[in-house]
Structure formats: structure tokens, C-alpha cells
Amino acid sequence: MSLSYIPNTYSDRTAMLREIGVNSVQELFQDIPEKFRHVDIRLPPAMSEPELIEEIRHLAALNLNLNEYTCFLGAGSYRHFIPSVIGHLIGRSEFYTAYTPYQAEISQGTLQAMYDYQSLICQLTGMEVSNAGLYDGSTAASEAALMACRITHRKRVAVLKTVNPGYIEVLGTYIRGHDDSLDKIEPQSRSLTSDYSCLIVQQPNFFGYFEDLNLYVQAAHDIGALLIVIVDPISLGMFKPPGEYGADIVVAEGQSLGNPTNFGGPGLGIFVCRRDYLRQMPGRIVSRTTDMSGEAGYVLTLQTREQHIRRERATSNICTNESLVALAAAIYLAALGKTGLRHVAELCYHKAHYAASEINKLKRFRLVFEAPFFKEFVVRCPISPSEVNKILFAEKIIGGLDISHMIEDSTLLCVTELNTKKQIDKLVHILRRL
């Protein structure tokens, strides 16, 4: 077997095989069953480059794209406007291919960008310390739960039933691996006991409406547990940041800050907490310091929490993050600024409320919840939501998320600043005929 992309020569390989006491490469792989060793892969004949580009273009055109379709789907991945400056800056080769900046002296640009990201996220959430980002919102919520178990030395985790069900599933997976236990709690429940490490709440919740956070802060702190809040970062342009109502750990999906929805990824796990818990925090942290000549410099800090030092006792064994997505989020926040972010949040809020009130005027559609909401709301339909979505789809509209398995005949609709009044009116017009 001679493959041009393997740099070892025939004699290199013979020497290595001899060293480990094997005669041939075939013998090396003998543990793999014979039938899996020689799989017949039937590939089409090779193409020329122009033919290949044409083929890929054809395949890509089979996908829908949101420039041609109107979208009212959210439920965790959101379409917001992405300023052009983001693509331009993150596409620079210094950022685009940067790897983990262990070697601070050659990584100042990447480190400074991460530090700026952390600073912006702290300001946005009103919390004291941020890491450089985790994989996505659901894994960030799971890491927060494990962190709460470490801090409180307790093994039970409570999650409110109104949290995104996808997040609850990921939580279950993480917690099972740690021999901790997860309980789903009814809203307003009084069943919290003092063996819980934390209470996890989403604000606004999966169904789009706001929870009474004061109630849950009190409930968690009364039993010595931590309050973990999952937020929509865009909503913080308008609503009270979790640092102000006493959250201990705040996590979020950061995709909506300057990143496309793609196929549901890549995401960005925003993770912030109170300074007291800094040493139990998972992931990388970048700090600002002063070098020998008195200049400001940036460096990874508190690395003893991490797996390259603490091994299996690390605060997390997933140390890869989403630096490029985090960078996009940082540029997004910097480009919009305080007033810009507030403007985006207000546009989402007012457009979503316009859509909700127009739909609620229809005879056969009803808003399911009366509580205040941000940009998502649940609507009960006269026919199955999947049928509604088929009809909308024929009109080039991607409808809401069918949640009829959770609430009868209901759909979760999302409206952002990118939905125009014309689009909303068209949606209402189609629904009126059903």
C-alpha cells in the first residue's frame, strides 16, 4: 500500500512494523473483521474541476436558503441581520486558521479578540467573569449543571420544564455520565429540596414568554442551590441582565450574535458566572496582564482548571471552543453597540407583538400563553401544525416549530427584525384562509 499523502517511506514502515513485532500492514489490522477491511466503495468516475464545480453547485441548489424563503422558525437558532464587517474580519487568515493560543507571545491578536469577547459578554449579561466560549448553548447549560454539583457537593440537578427540550436531553446525557441525577420541575413548583445543586431556568423560556425570575432566585438560594439562567443574548438589549436579578451562572446560545443559522450550527456556548466560582469554571479564560516592559499583554490564565494540566479532574474535558464564532459575536456586539443592540431587540419585540396580535385576531387561531414575551410565541392552530407548515411552505414560507407533542395543535413562531411587515401580513393572510 503506497499512498502519496503518507510521508513515511517503505523502509520507515518496515522498521516500525518490525519494532512492534508485526510482519505486514495487513497483520496490523487483523483485529478488524475481514468483511470490513475490504469494503467495495463504488465511486463514480473522476471529474474535471469545472464538472465537479457544476455538480456541487447542483447539489447545493437542492438546499433551501433563507434568502428565498421567509422564515418564522426559531426555537434556539435565530436569524438576525449579520453586518458585512463580520465576514470581512473573521475571514482574515490571522483569525480564520488560528489554533489554541497556548503560546502567548505569537498569539496576541487571537488572545486580545477572546479577551474582548469575554469583556463584552460580561457587560451584556451583567456578570463578573466569562470564559472564552464553549460549544453551544446546550453543552454550556450542561457544564453549568456539573459546575454547580462541584460547588455545592450535591448530586441532583433541577431543570424547569419550560427549558428547551433539546437542552434537557443534552443535560440528561451529561449528567448520566457523572452519576448525578436530573429532575424536571413544574413551573412555580415548591418541590425543591436542599439536596439540589442548582435550578436551571430559561429566560425567556422555550415557549417564548418570560418567567418570574425573582421567584426562582429565591427558591434556589433558599435551599443553598445555584440559579443557572439560560438567556437569549439579543433579548438583553432590552431586558434586565441576569447579573441584576441574582443569577449565579448564566449560559446562552451565542449563534444569534452575528452568526448564520446554517444547518443548526456551529453554535457558541456563552458561559458567565460570579467571580466566587471562577476556579470551578470550565473552558479557557484569557486575561490581560502587563509584560516585562510594562506593555499590556494577553494570556491564557487559570489553566490548572484545564485538562492538559488537571487531566481527568479538570473542570471540563471538552476544552475545544468555538473561537471563530465567538469572534463573530464580539464583532457583532462591538459593531452594533449599546444602542444598536437595543434597536435590534426592540424591532424583534414590536414585530413579534404585531404578528401575535394579528394572528390572535383570527377566528380560528389563539395565542396559548398570556404572559409577556420577547420574539417567540405559541399559537394553537385549527388543523395540525404540520399541515399548516405544508401550506405555508408552498407559499415559500417556513412556518413555526410544530410542538403538538407538547401542547395540542400548537406551533412555536419566531419573528426577528429581518421579518418585514409585508411578510407578517402575508403569513396572517394565509392563516386566515385556513
Partner 1 sequence: MNPREYKYTKEHEWLFIESDRVSKIGITDYAQSKLGDIVFLELPSVGTQVKQFDKLGEIESLKAVNDIFTPVSGKVLGVNQSVINDPGIVNSDPYGNGWLVRLEISDLPEVDNLMSSEEYDRFIGL
What residue ranges bind partner 1 (CB under 8 A)? Answer: 279, 304, 309-310, 313
What are the contacts of 60-69 at 24+ separation with CB within 8 A?
Answer: 64/398, 66/261, 66/398, 68/396, 69/396, 69/397, 69/398
**Residue 289 Cβ, how far from partner 1 at the closest point, in Å?**
13
**Residue 346 Cβ, how far from partner 1 at the closest point, in Å?**
44
**Residue 153 Cβ, how far from partner 1 at the closest point, in Å?**
9
CA–CA dist 14, 71 (Å, integer):
59
Give the closest residue to 180 by CA, choosing from 142, 137, 210, 221: 142
**Residue 314 Cβ, how far from partner 1 at the closest point, in Å?**
9
Strands (E), 116-203: 129-130, 156-160, 181-185, 196-203
CB 305 within 8 A of CB 314: yes
CA–CA dist 264, 70 (Å, integer):
17
**Residue 180 Cβ, how far from partner 1 at the closest point, in Å?**
19
Could you count the other beta carbons within 10 Å of the beta carbon of residue 286? 24
**Residue 295 Cβ, how far from partner 1 at the closest point, in Å?**
22
Which is closer to partner 1, CB of 253 or CB of 306? 306
Which is closer to partner 1, CB of 25 or CB of 309? 309
Residue 261 CA neighbour count, 13 Å, CB half: 15
Could you count the other beta carbons within 10 Å of the beta carbon of residue 349? 21
Give the closest residue to 356 by CA, choosing from 434, 433, 411: 411
Which is closer to partner 1, CB of 203 or CB of 315? 315
Taking the CA atoms of 257, 241, 163 and 211 in sequence, report the sign of the dihedral they define.
negative
Which is closer to partner 1, CB of 153 or CB of 363? 153
Which is closer to partner 1, CB of 243 or CB of 283? 283
CA–CA dist 229, 270 (Å, integer):
11
Residue 381 CA neighbour count, 13 Å, CB half: 26
Which is closer to partner 1, CB of 47 or CB of 309? 309
Which is closer to partner 1, CB of 190 or CB of 313? 313
Q: What single-letter DSSP state applies at residue 77?
A: -
Which is closer to partner 1, CB of 173 or CB of 304? 304
Question: Greatest CA separation found in the chain?
Answer: 80
Which is closer to partner 1, CB of 274 or CB of 310? 310
Which is closer to partner 1, CB of 153 or CB of 433? 153
Indicate the SS3 state at residue 322.
Answer: coil
**Residue 305 Cβ, how far from partner 1 at the closest point, in Å?**
8
**Residue 303 Cβ, how far from partner 1 at the closest point, in Å?**
8
Which is closer to partner 1, CB of 319 or CB of 407? 319
Can you name the residues that pair with 282 across neighbouring β-strands? none
CA–CA dist 256, 245 (Å, integer):
23
Alpha-carbon distances, residue 392 vs 70, 105, 328, 379, 406 (angstroms) = 10, 55, 32, 15, 22
Q: What single-letter DSSP state applies at residue 43?
A: P
**Residue 225 Cβ, how far from partner 1 at the closest point, in Å?**
18
Q: How wide is the angle at C-alpha 121 spanned by C-alphas 118 and 122, nearest 5°?
A: 85
**Residue 313 Cβ, how far from partner 1 at the closest point, in Å?**
7
**Residue 309 Cβ, how far from partner 1 at the closest point, in Å?**
6
